[in-house]
Amino acid sequence: MKLTFPAFAGRIAFSALAALLGAIFALPLIWFIFAPFNARAELGITVPDPWTLSNFMTVFQNNFAMQALWNSLIQSIGGVILVGAAATLAAYALSRSSIPGKGAVTYILLLFSSVVSGSAAMVPIFLIVSAMGLIDSHLAVILTFAGGLLPTAMFILRDFIDSIPKSYEESAMVAGASPVQAFFDVALPVIRPGIVVVVVWAFVNIWGSFLIPFILLRSDKLMPASVAIYSFYSEAGTPTVTLLAAYSLIYSLPVIILYLFVSWKFGFRFFGGIKA
């Protein structure tokens, strides 16, 4: 099919606009790649000359910042385990049960978790955590994140489980499996890709959150990296650009590694555990 001149010109214009927008969005990423290896503190994009690792060495000598990365890992993994396990069991129960109004329950939980969130919920959350005696503890942060992310995780997984025929578990139980065996041996492998989606989503949300740990934690030794990143600012609020860029790159690595691992393990082929 031969293109007319207006159609050809339209495609050229669209491609040029897409390339321009792509270049604009790529500029911060290019700076993010180059700045940590630059000895000079610059906000402009310049190729390091010479390349240096001194910024990373300075960051690694910052015990507070390094401890904060470990704290972020503890809080993220703890929250992910709690959200993943609770959401899987709750979503499976809601999907397979015949409880009247179970759909309304899911949507109400999702609504409240969406509306009452962020700074609007921090006062009651702080009072509840304080009454439980959990202020300034990793457990307080993990439980708060789990409570906030669980409704959405249940919603995602329930829709995923609803698409799986009940005949899988029924066939296993006819063959003599108990309901628990049917869940772990038959249903869970099929649900696994959906659980991976929830795990990645929950990890990214917890890893990058600032407000909740900032409010609930008091000790510097418990602060996560999202809070510790401000240690690379001067008392006047001016960032040390080179050190901030180096720490930000280190801070981003766990999310990138998780994404690459999931892409390698699953890719875009989110099949279940049962093959036809």
**CB neighbours of 134 closer than 8 A, spacing ≥ 6?**
140, 143, 216
Give pLDDT tens digits for 29-50.
777 778 888 877 666 667 777 7
Q: Measure the CA–CA gap between 197 and 156, rounded to whole angstroms.
A: 9
Q: How far is CA 67 from CA 32, 54, 218, 223, in A?
A: 23, 20, 15, 8
Q: Measure the CA–CA gap between 45 and 31, rounded to whole angstroms.
A: 5
Residue 4 pLDDT class (50, 70, 90 cuts): low
Q: Measure the CA–CA gap between 126 and 140, rounded to whole angstroms.
A: 9
Q: How many CB atoms lie within 10 A of CB 255?
A: 15
pLDDT above 70 coverage of the chain, percent: 87
**Superfamily designation of domain 61-274:** MetI-like (1.10.3720.10)
Please name which of 185, 147, 161 lies closest in space to residue 88, comparing C-alpha atoms.
161
Q: Measure the CA–CA gap between 232 and 245, rounded to whole angstroms.
A: 10
Helix (H) or strand (E) run with residue 214 in it? helix 211-216
Q: Across the strands, what pairs with 220?
A: none
Q: What pLDDT, on a 0 to 100 scale, did the predictor assign at position 275? A: 40
Q: Quick one: average pLDDT of 77-94?
A: 91
When computed from its CA atoms, the radius of gyration of the chain, rounded to whole angstroms, is 24
**CB neighbours of 204 closer than 8 A, spacing ≥ 6?**
255
Q: Measure the CA–CA gap between 227 and 233, rounded to whole angstroms.
A: 12
Please name which of 254, 248, 257 lies closest in space to residue 32, comparing C-alpha atoms.
248
Contact 188, 272 (CB under 8 A): no
Domain definitions of the chain by residue range: 5-52, 61-274
Give pLDDT tens digits for 176-234.
888 888 888 888 888 888 888 899 999 999 998 888 899 999 888 999 999 888 888 77
